[in-house]
């Protein structure tokens, strides 16, 4: 199966980037094809709901999401909310110039969150972003996600029990993506 992992932190020492790398390694070891896109390596312009749709940096992200059986979003939490990179990426790929909101690569995707934060208190900080994906694009949200804080790490190694949580989260992402791969419906903008 094809998975796209989107690393959305712009921080050089990002822990969510490490989560993205660990997920990529595990899914690859399981025999899946993984496309890992990192906003630090492939930066995107700011969303302007106009000329940005034709910016050449946007298309590789759009293609990777479109061709994925499942999408994993690795993101940081700052100030009790998800980092702006993830929202900007979704806005840039959530529509395009020819359909202006009537079609998007996100429709019906199985989405899994890999989150790095500073405090345990922000455990559900990604929920507004997740609900937006579910409501706007009819994404199927993996009920398992990873939330790792500073004490969950030894260097760049994720320690137990969060390491086991990552493994289970990825197992569920694969299972959901396999089960929903052959569905016959296609969603669009609808209420």
CA distance 64 to 60: 6
Per-residue pLDDT of 7-39, as tens digits, reads: 999 999 999 999 999 999 999 999 999 999 999
Tokens of 165: 């949580």
CA distance 124 to 147: 9
Listed by start position, the domains of the chain span: 2-180
CA distance 174 to 105: 19
Tokens of 19: 């989560």
Q: Domain spanning 2-180 has what CATH number? A: 3.40.50.360
Per-residue pLDDT of 89-147, as tens digits, reads: 999 998 765 555 556 899 999 999 999 998 888 999 999 999 999 999 999 999 999 99
Tokens of 58: 């946007």
What backbone phi and psi angles, to 5 degrees, belong to 8? -110, 5
pTM of the model: 0.95
CA distance 170 to 65: 17
Q: Is the pLDDT of residue 76 over 60?
A: yes
CA distance 42 to 61: 9
What DSSP element (H or E) covers 27? helix 15-29
């Amino acid at each position: 199966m094809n998975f796209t992992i989107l690393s959305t932190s712009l921080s050089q020492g990002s822990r969510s980037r490490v989560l993205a790398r660990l997920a990529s390694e595990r899914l690859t070891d399981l025999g899946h094809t993984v496309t890992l896109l990192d906003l630090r390596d492939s930066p995107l312009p700011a969303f302007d709901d106009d000329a940005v749709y034709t910016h050449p940096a946007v298309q590789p992200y759009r293609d990777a999401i479109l061709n994925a059986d499942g999408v994993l979003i690795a993101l940081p939490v700052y100030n009790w909310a998800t980092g702006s990179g993830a929202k900007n990426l979704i806005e840039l790929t959530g529509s395009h110039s020819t359909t202006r909101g009537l079609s998007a690569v996100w429709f019906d995707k199985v989405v899994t969150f890999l989150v790095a934060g500073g405090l345990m208190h922000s455990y559900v900080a990604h929920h507004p972003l997740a609900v937006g994906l579910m409501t706007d694009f009819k994404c199927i949200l993996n009920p398992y996600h990873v939330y790792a804080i500073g004490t969950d790490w030894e260097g760049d190694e994720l320690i137990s029990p969060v390491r086991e949580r990552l493994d289970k989260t990825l197992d569920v992402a694969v299972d959901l993506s396999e089960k929903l791969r052959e569905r016959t419906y296609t969603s669009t903008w609808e209420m």
